Amino acid sequence: MKKLLILSTALTAAAFAASAQEVTVMSWGGAYTQSQVEAYHKPFSAETGIKVVSVDADNPATPIKAMVEAGNVTIDVADVEYADAIRLCDEGLLEVIDPAILPAAPDGTPAMDDFLPGAVTDCAVTSIVFSTIFAYDTTKFPEGPTTIADFFDLEKFPGKRGMRKGAKANLEMALMADGVPAAEVYGILATPEGVDRAFAMLDKIKAETIWWEAGAQPPQLLADGEVAMTTAYNGRIFAAAAAEGKPFKTVWDGQVYEYDLFVIPKGAPNKDAALQFIAYSTDTQRLADQAKWISYGPGRKSSAPLVGLYQDGKTEMGPYMPTAAENLTNALPSSYEFWVDRDTELNEKFNAWLLK
């Protein structure tokens, strides 16, 4: 009897300890957060008993500095862009992640060889590859635009444009629309003349452009008829078209793709659970699962063959991935080296340009 009592007490205590554990993950909101909840959070909680709390921000990288400096870190994991991951890591605002915690691929390939090149850094682990593309409303343009130059051509395709309020990706797309081959974009953008050239291209559509800030806005702008075409994160457009049946079409020409990574802010309250979460979420199967919910490419090579159908059970996801061969004919990998350095300068230029 006494034994039973002790056992039951111990069990209750263990159950209590497990249920008390939780990990807070900050992401980008909308369909993207939804895909992470389905592919990572739910199975993680089911398997480990650790509760996952999901919070959203326009850009999860931005609250991290404030939290760490104030000594009041309330999140354990954040989903950030590459340049931000490098910058925050250099400034000592992130925990270092030991790559040894990452599980190997099912066929035994070590994690470091399985991830795409550069996808694991000192402080960050890639989950997906996403892309900034432009999309249009097929009811407005039945014979739709096909190249990035068309986006900047108001005569051929009249109507409002939507673009992200910031320099990144916009300047690259402007140069590609001006005929610069993808491989030369950053070389040209590093010169003052190149920056002027990009802004001159943006000047063409400036009067007709609405600037968005949150990733969930562009599909909304398209749906409201506020814009005829807009730049957007590719997964958002896919989600709106596939899940809600919106007449949106993605143009892959001139896409700018990059990694999205998980990081742990310095002083995160549940660091161990956070490490466990990252290791779990970035394993081969989980990354492949996420593609079931949104059209972002997995960060591991071994996940690619496992990518199957969309959650509706009939849409083949392969062609909607930024990394699909036919989408890469004129595509630009975003350069974090460039943006880590020039982000402040070009964004100030961009803001000054907006005011003119």
Return residues touching another protein (CB under 8 A): 59, 62-63, 65-66, 87, 89-92, 160, 166, 206, 209-211, 224-226, 337, 340-345, 347-349, 351-355
Angle of helix 336-355 relative to helix 170-177, nearest 10 degrees, comes to 90
Q: Which is nearer to another protein, 160 or 249 (CB)?
A: 160
* Residue of 50, 98, 55 whose CA lies nearest to 73: 55
Question: Phi and psi of 42, rounded to 5°?
Answer: -60, -55
Q: Which is nearer to another protein, 187 or 225 (CB)?
A: 225
Q: Which is nearer to another protein, 10 or 190 (CB)?
A: 190
Q: Which is nearer to another protein, 199 or 252 (CB)?
A: 199
Q: Which is nearer to another protein, 224 or 312 (CB)?
A: 224
Q: How far is the CB of 175 from another protein (least distance, A)?
A: 17
CA distances from 70 to 65, 93, 100, 139, 329 (A): 8, 12, 31, 50, 46
CA-derived radius of gyration, the chain: 22
- From CA 216, how far away is CA 30, in angstroms rounded? 6
* Contact yes or no for 133/234 (Cβ under 8 A): yes
Neighbours of 207 (CB within 10 A): 9
Q: 354: Cβ–Cβ under 8 A, 6 or more apart, which residues?
A: 165, 211
Q: Which is nearer to another protein, 67 or 331 (CB)?
A: 67
Q: How far is the CB of 217 from another protein (least distance, A)?
A: 11
- What is the token pair recorded at 206? 């400036």
Q: How far is the CB of 353 from another protein (least distance, A)?
A: 8
H or E, element range at 314: none
Q: How far is the CB of 345 from another protein (least distance, A)?
A: 3
* Contact yes or no for 218/230 (Cβ under 8 A): yes
Question: Phi and psi of 179, rounded to 5°?
Answer: 100, 10
* Contact yes or no for 177/148 (Cβ under 8 A): yes
Q: How far is the CB of 97 from another protein (least distance, A)?
A: 14
- From CA 322, how far away is CA 132, in angstroms rounded? 9
Q: How far is the CB of 12 from another protein (least distance, A)?
A: 42
Q: How far is the CB of 4 from another protein (least distance, A)?
A: 53
Q: How far is the CB of 90 from another protein (least distance, A)?
A: 3
Q: Which is nearer to another protein, 41 or 87 (CB)?
A: 87
- What is the token pair recorded at 188? 């040209």
Q: Which is nearer to another protein, 39 or 73 (CB)?
A: 73
